[in-house]
Structure formats: C-alpha cells, structure tokens
Amino acid sequence: MRTERVSGNGQGGREPKVVVGAAIIADGRVLACERSAPPEVAGRWEFPGGKVEPGEDETTALVRECAEELGVRVEIGARVGRDVRMAHGRSVLRVYMARLLHDDQPKALEHSELRWLSAAELDTVAWLPADAPIVAALRPLLTNP
C-alpha cells in the first residue's frame, strides 16, 4: 500500500497522482474490462490503464499498462473527456483514445472478462464511477466502421 505524506493542515502539498486509461477502439466499438479485484470493485467495468510512475509521461505509462494488463501494443491518440477526480481528490483519471497495433488481440490477463461495446451497448455494463463521465464523452465518438 502506498501512503502519502501530508502537511500539518491535512492537505497534500502535491499535485494529484495521475491515473491513465485507454479507450481502445476497433470497428466502432470500445474495449471494456471487468475488474476482478479488489473486492469492493470486483465485477465493475473500466477502461484499462493505471498509475503514471515517476519518470513516465502519460502516453508511455498507458502503453506500458496496456501491455501488462492486456498483452497488446497500442498507439495512443487524443484525450477523451475531462479530468475525473478520484480518491477524494488525491488522484485524477485521464483517458486517451487508443488503437491496437500489429493485429494484437487483447487478453484478460488482469481482468475477469473483456467486452467490445458499441455506442448502443455502453450502458449494458456497470462502469466504475470514475469511468462513467468518460463513457458519456466517448459515446458520440463510436461510429460504425
């Protein structure tokens, strides 16, 4: 467990930690990933991604996370939606469009299940609260190929 040091007034003196997510789009559908852990979020759906580590930029972190979580290589595109505050303001989620490279096919290495969802299917899964605003921003970007 990572802890943060705070000043005496209870406020962290640092910018929020950045968590990046990938809206991987193929054939007019976006990849959704079902969390398997921890128990409080198991069964909820998210975009793949994770924390930006020290010394990484956001796109490098997202390429690394997609390789670790899905076993795929991706090209990162434009941002989707706005910054979403998480963890009582200690973190911020930033999601980017992405596309698979080299005919790679995602594998559920760290998730229970993967689904490709069209714009009409976005509401068929229970998204994590932080991902919900991104789903709304993504909907108009999903079109038939």
Q: How far is CA 89 from CA 6, 38, 132, in A?
A: 13, 20, 17
Q: Between these two residues, 143 and 46, which has the higher pLDDT value? A: 46
**Can you list the alpha helix ranges (DSSP code H) found in 14-97?**
58-70
Q: What is the mean pLDDT of the chain?
A: 89
pLDDT in the model for residue 8: 37
**If we measure between CA atoms, which residue out of 76, 98, 113 comes closest to residue 24?**
98
The DSSP H or E segment spanning 24 is strand 17-26
pLDDT in the model for residue 13: 56
Mean pLDDT confidence for 6-30 = 77
Query: Is the separation of the CB atoms in 102 and 73 below 8 Å?
Result: yes
d(CA 48, CA 39): 18
pLDDT in the model for residue 36: 92
pLDDT in the model for residue 131: 94
Q: Between these two residues, 101 and 2, which has the higher pLDDT value? A: 101
Mean pLDDT confidence for 2-31 = 72
The DSSP H or E segment spanning 45 is strand 45-46
Predicted structure pTM score:
0.86
pLDDT in the model for residue 88: 79
Mean pLDDT confidence for 37-58 = 94
pLDDT digits over 53-105, tens only? Answer: 999 999 999 999 999 999 999 999 999 999 999 877 899 999 999 999 999 99
pLDDT in the model for residue 6: 35
Q: Between these two residues, 13 and 106, which has the higher pLDDT value? A: 106
